[in-house]
Amino acid sequence: MQINHGALPLIMGNYASNFGINLYMYGASAYTDGKNITIPRLNFNNPEEMDLAFGYVAHECGHVRYSDFDVFGKSYDKTGILPRIFNALEDTRIENLQMANWPGLRKTFNNIVGKLDESVCRYLKNCKNRASLITAFLDCSNRVRCLNQNSGNSLKAARNRLKKIIPETVIEAIEDKAAGSVNCRDSAEVLELSREILNIFKSCFELVNDEYMRQRESDNNLSEKAENTGMLSGSSGNGGSFSDSEDCSATRKNHAETGTPFQTDLFDSVFNSGAETSSVPESHVERSLSEYGGFLSEFGNSDADGNCSGKRRKMIREFEKIIGRMKEPFSFSENSQCDRRHPDLSTIIENCSAKSKGAVDIGSLVSRNSAPAKDLSLYRKVLNDNTLRTDINHLVKGYEEWNYGAASSGRCLDVRRYQYTYGGMLSDNVFMKKRPRRALNTTVHLLVDISGSMSRPCRPESSVTRSQVANHLALSLAMSLENVRNVDNRVIYFPGNCCEYEEVYRSGQSLVERATYFDLMPRGCTPLAQALLYSMSNMPSVDKYHRNIIIVITDGEPDNYEFASEMLNKAKGDSIEVYALRVAPHGDRLRKLFEESVDIGNASELPAALTELLADKVFSYC
């Protein structure tokens, strides 16, 4: 049955609820904490983005259901080699379980891996991080061998890069061991398997480094012995000459590439007069391997007659080739860090989100109120410090007196004003105005940015943050416009609680009851475009007697600059006035985003800037 992409958001919401988790879509990152799954804003009208989102949700639901999030302690760095090996093997295990219970997911996972394959191939071509190379190889190998997924191109790229530093015999044995992750009963067994595989890599690199240093030391000794016998100053009997230890390294490299074990003992015998070589001595690599009994147990030891098995001989030749190409020892340990640029599903979703202009939510995902403050401290502070409220009230009162005022001359009396002239309470402006009245019929939406950057102090030496000033200003404006007739006032914060925006107040609500929702802490990103879209969708149609006004308080560039710019152009086309108060703006792009804006050096200047903006743009007499 083919599923309509318009219904897929509902399916995703229901799918997540079957696993007992909450599904959210906001921000610019994809992640899960074991109880909640968050994906960034995506365009659900795009089938590819929809498949990516559904695949990510299905994958993370598998982790929530089958993975033990306490296996790793908090002290572990998630970008370290061991956690990343564990994640690669654990992904195989949980996807295998998911497809066993939900067979339809096989196609979804295959599509996602196909999209990942190209990105991983591009990354591996220039990857110089050994830890990332190893984890990418294990992930691709398990997906091909255990899940029959189409990661063949990236697996081939990873294998070709890995063969330059690890013998192919070792790689094959590690692949066999890693494939056992699908048979692990829980995350603890996967972690134990990850440690075993990591120890194999560590032993392999230790062996290569030790043998490289031994042969380098042997080359140096060889040069010294040749110099003592005078062979460096003359020609040998066969016409060859040694210039220094670098020539010895080149000779060793030539032997390694031809598959012939390089024997420094044979060269030693040349410089010993009267000595004859009756047999080929044991190679350095073979002697080194004998020191790694546990390492050899993974790949096959000697046969019944005490001779090296074919598998071991092949591994020795491969070791010698690698050592012959080495220019310096390999650096690798359990603390090795993976490259953060390594592409994965979450980064691909985040890249799609940066270009998305969608506005459809996932199933039951709706805006909900953040946890309110525990007390009315902000409300009491606004009541005690009423400077801003007083300034705004004076602006509103002056505008109303001008708007509903009378003229000093005319043909029609304003009866309501005329009856008070006897007591000397009013001037002689008792005639009605000749021109049509400009009604005070206005919608004012205040959009307040409470992204993470708003937690910064107003000044370097100040303990007051930008968000605290913005919260104080928002509540002051709402209280000033609370009882003003014909003014519809709304206050919208972005981001909201597990969503992109949150309406904390609208006209008609009790400000005493809603005051605690103005006292919110900074969090998350800057979804300005979605907040603008919501605000504009809740504004009435505009005529010559009505004004729609949006005032934005922000301190950073929006998550999706292009979408925010598109929303502002749409607002201009709909005759919606948009003004911005920008705190400590940076970059030309932010300055070009708003046509009407006021730049503020620090947040303490916000109250004065808002008063000036209201006087010039909202409650002006022109």
Lowest mean pLDDT among 9-13, 392-396, 532-536: 9-13
Strands 502-506 and 487-494: antiparallel
Confidence of residue 96 (pLDDT cuts 50, 70, 90): very high
Q: Longest C-alpha distance within the chain, in Å? A: 140
Distance CA 276, CA 269 (A): 7
Distances, alpha carbon 501 to alpha carbons 26, 132, 449, 531, in Å = 9, 37, 10, 6
Whether residue 164 is predicted with pLDDT greater than 60 in this model: the reply is: yes
Mean pLDDT, rounded, for 423-451 = 69
Of these ranges, 39-43, 85-89, 303-307, 476-480, the one predicted with the greatest mean pLDDT is 85-89
Distance of CA 95 to the CA centre of its chain: 22
Strands 502-506 and 36-39: unpaired
Query: Do the Cβ atoms of 432 and 407 come closer than 8 Å?
Result: yes
Distance CA 399, CA 404 (A): 8
Q: Which residue has the tokens 């990942």?
A: 116
Distance CA 344, CA 329 (A): 30
pLDDT (0 to 100) of residue 312: 75
Q: How much of the chain, in percent, has pLDDT values that exceed 70?
A: 72
pLDDT (0 to 100) of residue 491: 95
Helices 81-101/105-125 angle, 10° precision: 150
Q: How much of the chain, in percent, has pLDDT values that exceed 90?
A: 20
Number of alpha carbons in the 13 Å side-chain half-sphere of residue 150: 13
Mean pLDDT, rounded, for 15-28 = 76
Whether residue 252 is predicted with pLDDT greater than 50 in this model: the reply is: no
Please report the DSSP string for 431-484 in residue order.
Answer: BPPSSPP----EEEEEEEE-SGGGGSBSSTT-S-BHHHHHHHHHHHHHHHSTT-
Lowest mean pLDDT among 372-381, 410-419, 478-487, 488-497: 410-419
Distance CA 89, CA 371 (A): 38
Mean pLDDT, rounded, for 139-157 = 90
pLDDT (0 to 100) of residue 192: 94
More confident residue, 423 or 311: 311
Report the candidate in 171, 574, 115, 523 with the shortest Cα–Cα distance to residue 347: 115
All structural domains of the chain: 8-190+338-351 (no CATH), 201-231+244-325 (no CATH), 377-404+440-618 (3.40.50.410), 406-438 (no CATH)
pLDDT (0 to 100) of residue 429: 65
Report the candidate in 64, 57, 51, 47 with the shortest Cα–Cα distance to residue 25: 57
Model-wide pTM > 0.85: no
User: Considering the chain, what is the average pLDDT of its residues?
Assistant: 77
Whether residue 513 is predicted with pLDDT greater than 50 in this model: the reply is: yes
Mean pLDDT, rounded, for 594-615 = 83
Confidence of residue 493 (pLDDT cuts 50, 70, 90): very high
More confident residue, 277 or 221: 221
78 by DSSP, 3-state: which? coil
Whether residue 305 is predicted with pLDDT greater than 60 in this model: the reply is: no
pLDDT (0 to 100) of residue 533: 87
What does the pLDDT look like over 460-486, one tens digit per residue? 788 889 999 899 989 988 988 887 778
Whether residue 444 is predicted with pLDDT greater than 80 in this model: the reply is: yes
Lowest mean pLDDT among 175-184, 319-328, 391-400, 495-504: 391-400
pLDDT (0 to 100) of residue 188: 92
Whether residue 265 is predicted with pLDDT greater than 50 in this model: the reply is: no
Residue 92, C-beta contacts closer than 8 angstroms, at least 6 positions apart = 139, 142, 143, 146, 147, 181, 182
Strands 576-583 and 596-600: parallel
Confidence of residue 606 (pLDDT cuts 50, 70, 90): confident
Terminal-to-terminal C-alpha distance of the chain? 63
pLDDT (0 to 100) of residue 41: 77
Backbone angles phi, psi at 570, to 5 degrees: -65, -40
Mean pLDDT, rounded, for 560-585 = 88
Whether residue 282 is predicted with pLDDT greater than 90 in this model: the reply is: no
pLDDT (0 to 100) of residue 5: 52
Report the candidate in 11, 86, 21, 20 with the shortest Cα–Cα distance to residue 53: 11
pLDDT (0 to 100) of residue 257: 44
Residue 172, C-beta contacts closer than 8 angstroms, at least 6 positions apart = none
More confident residue, 379 or 541: 379
Whether residue 621 is predicted with pLDDT greater than 60 in this model: the reply is: no
Q: What is the phi-psi region of residue 300: left when phi exceeds 0, alpha when psi lies from -120 to 50, beta otherwise? A: left
Of these ranges, 67-76, 348-357, 607-616, the one predicted with the greatest mean pLDDT is 607-616
Lowest mean pLDDT among 8-22, 42-56, 245-259: 245-259
∠ CA 281-286-287 to the nearest 5 degrees?
80
